[in-house]
Amino acid sequence: MSKQIELGFPAPGFMRAIFKNPPINLVDPETILELSALIEKLETDPEIKVVVFESADPDFFLAHYDVLVDKARTAAMTKGPTGMHPWLDVLVRLSRAPVVSIASIRGRARGAGSEFALSCDIRFASAEKAVLGQFEVGVGAVPGGNPMARLAGLIGRGRAIEVVLGADDFPGALAERYGYVNRAIPDADLDAFVDRFARRIAGFDKDALAEAKRFIDEASFPATISFRPRSISSSSQPDARQRKLGWRSFWKRDCRSAQTSS
């Protein structure tokens, strides 16, 4: 099985991680395992100061969780070092890792993709091509990585409710206005801007970066209790079948969009 994340080191202290899981960069158990191993490296490698996450697919930064994966397989995954389900474990550990994590968002980052972007320290987005959102409520589910806690801290309670309960898409420019991302940058300038910013951070002292981030985390990071697993709607509910069909139709729509773009 091919690796889903390609790693590169453009400069000392600077790691680049590129998502490559065609056709639409779905998150699945293999993605989670690769991310867990990558984060362990971020936690233990004294040389890495900054990591940039980006995508090889201009239409999808990181999509939602793969709804066609056997749910029993997902539920049976071994808990991570935090004692939480490995997806929650990845999100929490990335936020706390002693490096600066940057999501360079071009294309869609919905559902789990949005949750991952929110777990990064900084989000830069293409003004024209980035799309973020938490669509789960629209198909009868609750977001699994609990973006509610992170969004409320970033954009306020009212807007967090708008994003999660409205289940709509937020283009890059609007996401910037809300505080969902740090900056929306013209697409033609995004790569150069992020590269320049990451190289600047990579030139600073590792201990100073990690300690300053730790102090910010103490003041702003959601409590671990906020990251309880959330489940998809129970099959005992009368409209559960329709909701499952909603998940599948959403996945198929994104796949068709990817085929059209290519």
Element housing 71 (H / E): helix 71-75
Pick left, alpha or beta for residue 55 (phi over 0 → left; psi -120 to 50 → alpha; otherwise beta). beta
The percentage of the chain sitting over the pLDDT mark of 90, rounded to a whole number, equals 73
Predicted confidence (pLDDT) at residue 254 exceeds the cutoff of 60? yes
Predicted confidence (pLDDT) at residue 257 exceeds the cutoff of 90? no
Query: What per-residue confidence (pLDDT) applies to 232?
Result: 38
The percentage of the chain sitting over the pLDDT mark of 70, rounded to a whole number, equals 84
Predicted confidence (pLDDT) at residue 262 exceeds the cutoff of 60? no
pLDDT in tens, 129-187: 999 999 999 998 899 888 888 999 999 999 999 999 999 999 999 999 999 999 999 99
Query: What per-residue confidence (pLDDT) applies to 236?
Result: 37
Q: Are the C-beta atoms of residues 86 and 136 closer than 8 Å to each other? A: no
How far CA 117 is from CA of 28, 30, 84, 103, 262, in Å, comes to 16, 18, 19, 6, 24
- Two tokens, residue 212: 């300053």
Predicted confidence (pLDDT) at residue 36 exceeds the cutoff of 70? yes
Mean pLDDT value of segment 75-98: 93
pLDDT in tens, 50-75: 999 999 999 999 999 998 888 888 88
Mean pLDDT value of segment 202-210: 98
pLDDT in tens, 138-150: 998 899 888 888 9
Beta bridge partners of 18: 6, 54
Give the CA radius of gyration of the chain: 18
In whole angstroms, what is the distance from residue 15 CA to residue 36 CA? 16
Q: Which residue has the higher pLDDT, 90 or 243?
A: 90
Pick left, alpha or beta for residue 140 (phi over 0 → left; psi -120 to 50 → alpha; otherwise beta). left
For the chain, which domains are there? Answer: 5-202 (3.90.226.10)
Predicted confidence (pLDDT) at residue 249 exceeds the cutoff of 90? no
pLDDT in tens, 224-247: 555 555 543 333 344 545 555 555
Q: Say if pTM beats, i.e. exceeds, 0.75.
A: yes
Q: Are the C-beta atoms of residues 18 and 5 closer than 8 Å to each other? A: yes
pLDDT in tens, 18-29: 999 999 999 999
